[in-house]
Amino acid sequence: MHAELIDGVAVSKKIRDEVAARCAALAARGVVPGLTVVLVGDDAASAVYVRNKEKQSVEAGMKGETIRLPASTSQEELLAVVDRLNADPAVHGILVQMPLPKQIDPQTVIRRLAPHKDVDGFHPVNVGKVLIGEKDGFAPCTPAGVQMLLQEYGVDTGGKHVVIIGRSNIVGKPMASLLIQPGKGGDATVTICHSRTPDLSWHTKRADIVIAAVGRPGTVTGDMLKPGAVVIDVGINRIADPTTKSGARLVGDVDFESARLTASKITPVPGGVGQMTIALLLRNTVRAAEQSIPAATVAG
Count other Cβ atoms within 10 Å, centred on residue 262.
20
Out of 53, 117, 129, 173, pick the active-site residue.
53
Out of 56, 97, 181, 275, pick the active-site residue.
97
Count other Cβ atoms within 10 Å, centred on residue 72.
10
Count other Cβ atoms within 10 Å, centred on residue 4.
13
Count other Cβ atoms within 10 Å, centred on residue 42.
11
* 195 contact partners, CB below 8 Å, separation of at least 6: 214
Whether residue 97 lies in the annotated active site: yes
| Phi, psi (rounded to 5 degrees) for 192 | -105, 120
Residue 98 is which amino acid? M
Whether residue 75 lies in the annotated active site: no
Residue 287 CA to residue 59 CA, distance in Å, equals 17
Alpha helices in 89-221 (DSSP H): 106-112, 124-132, 141-152, 172-179, 200-204
Residue 259 CA to residue 263 CA, distance in Å, equals 6
Out of 118, 120, 233, 255, pick the active-site residue.
120
| Phi, psi (rounded to 5 degrees) for 2 | -115, 130
Q: Which of 225, 218, 227, 224 is nearest to 256 (CA)?
A: 218
* 116 contact partners, CB below 8 Å, separation of at least 6: 288, 291, 292
Count other Cβ atoms within 10 Å, centred on residue 124.
12
Catalytic residue numbers read 53, 97, 120
